[in-house]
């Protein structure tokens, strides 16, 4: 079938044909495979793509599948390589189809049997190049390994084994799953990877669900942050390639995809309640709705406290378990203090307390919005108190831990952000 990509899901360690993404008059449309619909284990690949015998419109199809590919400069570079028009995500997907986010694999043939899989060890010098030329390296590795990672920041997916942050790295080939996402710092925003590692570790210290991460020292450059993928699970069941255990894929989608919203609209427009959309996505698919509503509240409070204004809809996700039956709010990711950089806007990607302007948030507005989201007033007050009491100490402890790991600049970053953190918390404290 010309102009078609076959969509498979990983299920019980094998690949199952889900449907076909096919160009129709130049516009991709998705349709589930009839045999898949008849399967007792069939599950939608997105909340915006419910099981149906009818093909989905280009708009609905695009809101999900365009959300798989990178954004920004990397996407433009991939479009050029694919000789694609601006916004032609189909041709880009065809380039980086083997290892996208979640549990899906795309192929040019109806069968996914015999997919190429392999791991190539990467030495420290090649790893360091990511810090020196992130955009170039991310582009080269995306083509070489056919990995597709959503987002605007230059990043790569690699496999890591062992305890050495600087060693044990492998580049996946074909459909071999990666285990970590690596992101380089930038000269424009010095210390951003250290700041992210500190914020993520602080969230974990507060028992919030957050991704695992660590830093990699690079000579004469900002550290690289390595984030363990929450949509990959290692197993000791004997599956291996090139002597390395093959992780299982877990399915995930961000809230833009779940709600059928274009990634171009990931930042909340005026007059729209994106926090309500997150709550609604959880209400529709989560298998533990009440706990996930609490997590939404705590996560938003944490974003506000640390000054993370880049908390747009693509930084909120849902993740499935291996059975495709249990769905939960995904751990926190891409969390850092953006307000420490004067050139960045102080407007949150998802408004809080009825305001996108982080400096306009008040205790009363936060209480009202969270109660509207279905949380009892007494519990909301307790959540605010927990956040105000725990965030400063958690950030301090996270910075000290990073210093012990060999990154003393974490304590410098802590001293930069803590005055603003305390000022914000004072505005919502009782």
Distance CA 72, CA 54 (A): 33
Residue 189: give the domain boundaries.
117-245
Domain annotation covers residue 148? yes
3-state secondary structure of 257: helix
Distance CA 215, CA 194 (A): 7
C-alpha dist (Å) from residue 30 to 53, 55, 259 = 11, 6, 16
Name 208's Cβ contacts closer than 8 Å, sequence gap at least 6. Answer: 295, 298, 299, 302, 332
Same domain, residue pair 144 and 99: no
Backbone dihedral region of 207: left (phi > 0), alpha (psi from -120 to 50 degrees) or beta?
left
The pLDDT assigned to 140 comes to 61
Alpha-carbon dihedral 334, 336, 342, 345, rounded to 10 degrees:
50
CATH number at residue 276: 1.10.1070
Distance CA 230, CA 213 (A): 11
The pLDDT assigned to 97 comes to 67
The pLDDT assigned to 28 comes to 93
Q: Which DSSP string do the residues of 340-354 spell out, in sequence order? A: TSTTS--EEEEEETT
The pLDDT assigned to 19 comes to 97
Domain annotation covers residue 273? yes
- How crowded is the C-beta side of 105, counted as CA atoms within 13 Å? 28
Same domain, residue pair 404 and 271: yes
Same domain, residue pair 93 and 131: no
Domain annotation covers residue 44? yes
Of 226, 245, 264, the domain-final residue = 245
Distance CA 121, CA 84 (A): 32
Same domain, residue pair 182 and 135: yes
Q: SS3 breakdown of the chain: % helix, strand, coil, rounded to 5?
A: 40, 20, 40
Same domain, residue pair 60 and 90: yes
3-state secondary structure of 162: coil
Domain annotation covers residue 190? yes
Same domain, residue pair 87 and 124: no
In which residue ranges of the chain is pLDDT below 70? Answer: 1-2, 97-99, 132-135, 137-154
Same domain, residue pair 364 and 322: yes
Same domain, residue pair 367 and 319: yes
Residue with tokens 């400069």: 73
Same domain, residue pair 348 and 209: no
Structure-token pair, residue 173: 């080939």
Domain annotation covers residue 223? yes
Count structural domains, the chain: 3
Name 61's Cβ contacts closer than 8 Å, sequence gap at least 6. Answer: 21, 28, 29, 30, 49
Kindly report whether the global pTM for this prediction surpasses the value 0.75: yes
What is the number of helices (H) and of strands (E) in the chain? Answer: 13, 19
Domain annotation covers residue 63? yes
Of 207, 222, 245, the domain-final residue = 245
Same domain, residue pair 218 and 264: no
The pLDDT assigned to 153 comes to 58
Same domain, residue pair 23 and 49: yes
**Phi, psi at 151, each rounded to 5°:** 120, 165
Distance CA 159, CA 81 (A): 25
> Contact at 8 Å (CB) between 214 and 182?
no
> Contact at 8 Å (CB) between 258 and 252?
no
The pLDDT assigned to 1 comes to 46
Structure-token pair, residue 418: 């803590």
Domain annotation covers residue 112? no
Domain annotation covers residue 134? yes
> Contact at 8 Å (CB) between 332 and 211?
yes
Backbone dihedral region of 334: left (phi > 0), alpha (psi from -120 to 50 degrees) or beta?
left
248: part of which helix (H) or strand (E)? Answer: strand 248-249
DSSP E strands, 259-301: none
8: part of which helix (H) or strand (E)? Answer: strand 4-11
Of 53, 73, 107, the domain-final residue = 107
Structure-token pair, residue 359: 């400096």
Same domain, residue pair 271 and 388: yes
Cα Rg of the chain (Å, integer)? 21
Distance of CA 380 to the CA centre of its chain: 27
């Amino acid at each position: 079938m010309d102009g078609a990509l076959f969509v498979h899901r990983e299920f019980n360690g094998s690949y199952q044909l889900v449907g076909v993404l096919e160009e129709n008059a130049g516009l991709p449309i998705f349709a589930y495979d009839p045999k898949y619909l008849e399967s007792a284990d069939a599950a939608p690949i997105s909340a915006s793509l419910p099981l149906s015998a009818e093909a989905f419109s280009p708009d609905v199809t695009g809101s999900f599948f365009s959300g798989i590919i990178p954004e920004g400069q990397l996407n433009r570079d991939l479009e050029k390589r694919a000789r694609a028009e601006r916004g032609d995500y189909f041709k880009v997907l065809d380039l980086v189809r083997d290892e996208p986010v979640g549990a899906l694999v795309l192929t040019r043939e109806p069968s996914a049997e015999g997919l190429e899989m392999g791991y190539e060890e990467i030495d420290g010098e090649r790893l360091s190049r990511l810090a020196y030329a992130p955009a170039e390296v991310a582009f080269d590795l995306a083509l070489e390994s056919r990995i597709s990672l959503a987002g605007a920041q230059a990043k790569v997916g690699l496999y890591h084994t062992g305890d050495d942050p600087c060693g044990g790295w492998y580049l996946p080939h074909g459909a071999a799953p990666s285990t970590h996402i690596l992101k380089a710092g930038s000269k424009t925003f010095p210390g951003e990877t250290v700041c992210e590692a500190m914020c993520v570790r602080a969230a974990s210290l507060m028992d919030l669900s957050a991704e695992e991460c660590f830093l990699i020292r690079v000579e004469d450059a900002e550290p690289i942050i390595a984030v363990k993928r929450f949509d990959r699970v290692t197993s000791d069941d004997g599956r291996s390639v090139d002597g390395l255990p093959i992780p299982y894929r877990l399915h995930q989608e961000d809230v833009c995809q779940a709600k059928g919203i274009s990634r171009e609209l990931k930042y909340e427009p005026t007059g729209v309640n994106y926090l309500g959309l997150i709550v609604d996505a959880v209400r529709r698919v989560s298998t533990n709705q009440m706990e996930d509503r609490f997590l939404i509240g705590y996560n938003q409070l944490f974003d506000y406290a640390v000054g993370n204004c880049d908390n747009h809809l693509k930084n909120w996700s849902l993740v499935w378990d291996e059975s495709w039956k249990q769905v939960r709010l995904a751990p926190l990711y891409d969390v850092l203090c953006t307000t420490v950089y004067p050139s960045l806007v102080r407007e949150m990607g998802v408004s809080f307390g009825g305001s996108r302007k982080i400096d306009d948030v008040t205790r009363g507005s936060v209480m009202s919005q969270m109660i509207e989201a279905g949380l009892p007033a007494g519990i909301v007050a307790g959540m605010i108190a927990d956040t105000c009491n725990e965030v400063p100490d958690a950030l301090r402890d996270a910075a000290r831990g990073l210093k012990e790991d060999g990154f003393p600049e974490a304590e410098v970053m802590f001293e930069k952000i803590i005055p603003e953190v305390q000022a914000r918390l004072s505005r919502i404290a009782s």
